[in-house]
Homo-oligomer: A and B are copies of this chain.
Amino acid sequence: MFKRLCVIGVGFMGGSFALAFRESFPNCEILGIDINPYAIDKAIQLGVIDKGSVQMNNLLLFKPDLIMLATPVGTFESIAKELSSLDLKDSLITDLGSVKGRLVYMLEEYLGENFVGGHPIAGTEKSGVENSNKDLFKGKRCILTPTQRTSPKALEKIKNMWVSLGALVEEMDPFLHDYVFGAVSHLPHAVAFALIDAIKNLSKDSVDLFKYPGGGFKDFTRIAGSDPIMWRDIFLENRENVLKAIEAFEMSLKNLKELIKSGNLQELTDYLLSAKNCREKIN
């Protein structure tokens, strides 16, 4: 049973994790660490964390049995470096990052066998601790990415912890994870951001296209409201897969464009019907 949780990064994801964790482990004490003192104050006021600090080395006194990394993935290396300089051999360490792959091996270099990579497939376009949601992970998949080096005991504990929070745990190779989510999550986000950029460019002096958000546009671009720093880091950390996925998408769109241009009724129908049938597999 966990007694002391430290959440590094007190935003929407870290805050939601703290709330969910407290519900499953009501007697635990929660320390929040963030570079932003206002986020800490807000999180304490909202009862998301019990106490907070802007200093990483306050961890030492707190002696957490679990440390959750909940910052944008671009900060992981410097945080891991800092953590590795502290004596934390009794702490399990895991994360909520949307990129795994080489990041997992890098974190292991610094943090050793007690680190277990994790990625709950949950989130919204919201950001900020004030939007935290204790039910965020319930019924959602959580991908864990153990390696040969991961302590089986640590993996077991992290797995059980997520199960307690109501998540459906699945294990995956860290690099396969990045290929899969580069396609099904990072690509759609890139596309949504680019779609908004295009609508902005297509808005003329005489017409503000953002005044006409019907026809699927609103739902479709909801995810473009996501945190820019978090997504900048995801795109860069998973650059290779994201670029490959964007290129595959560019080819698909080019094919569709050519079918529209040529007006080939049968091939255009087949293209759209095939997409519809694939989409229906995931309903």
Hey, which bits of chain A sit against chain B, CB under 8 A?
A: 98, 121-123, 140-141, 176, 179-181, 183-202, 207, 209-210, 212-229, 231-232, 235-236, 239, 242-257, 260-261, 263, 265, 268-269, 271-276, 278-283
B188 touches A195 (CB 8 A): yes
A260 touches B239 (CB 8 A): yes
Q: Which chain B residues lie closer than 8 Å to A251 at the CB level?
A: 198, 201
**Contact of A198 (CB < 8 Å), options: B194, B226, B227, B245:** B245
Q: A190-B260, A202-B245 are in contact. List 20 more A-B contacts (CB 8 A).
A: A98-B215, A123-B215, A141-B214, A184-B215, A191-B220, A194-B249, A194-B252, A195-B249, A196-B279, A197-B274, A197-B275, A216-B223, A219-B220, A220-B222, A225-B283, A228-B273, A229-B269, A231-B272, A235-B268, A236-B260
Q: Which chain B residues lie closer than 8 Å to A188 at the CB level?
A: 195, 215-217, 220-221
The distance from the CB of A101 to the nearest CB of chain B, in whole angstroms, is 15
A198 touches B249 (CB 8 A): yes
The count of identical subunits is 2
B242 touches A260 (CB 8 A): yes
B217 touches A185 (CB 8 A): yes
Closest residue of chain B to A223, judged by CB? B216
Q: Which chain B residues lie closer than 8 Å to A199 at the CB level?
A: 183-184, 187, 278
A185 touches B215 (CB 8 A): yes
Q: Which chain B residues lie closer than 8 Å to A235 at the CB level?
A: 260, 268
Q: Would you give 13 A-B contacts (Cβ < 8 Å), ordered by A?
A: A121-B212, A185-B216, A188-B195, A188-B217, A188-B220, A189-B216, A192-B220, A220-B220, A226-B276, A228-B269, A232-B268, A236-B265, A239-B260
Q: Which chain B residues lie closer than 8 Å to A214 at the CB level?
A: 121-122, 140-141, 184-185
Known contacts A226-B276, A272-B232, A275-B193, A218 near B282 by CB under 8 Å: yes
Which of A184, A196, A199, A278 has most chain B Cβ within 10 Å? A184
Distance of A198 Cα from B183 Cα, bound (Å): 8
A253 touches B191 (CB 8 A): yes
B246 touches A257 (CB 8 A): yes
A223 touches B224 (CB 8 A): no
Distance of A122 Cα from B276 Cα, bound (Å): 19
Q: Which chain B residues lie closer than 8 Å to A232 at the CB level?
A: 265, 268-269, 272
**Contact of A279 (CB < 8 Å), options: B187, B190, B225:** B225
B253 touches A221 (CB 8 A): no
**Contact of A243 (CB < 8 Å), options: B123, B196, B257:** B257
Q: Which chain B residues lie closer than 8 Å to A278 at the CB level?
A: 196-197, 199-200, 210
B225 touches A280 (CB 8 A): yes
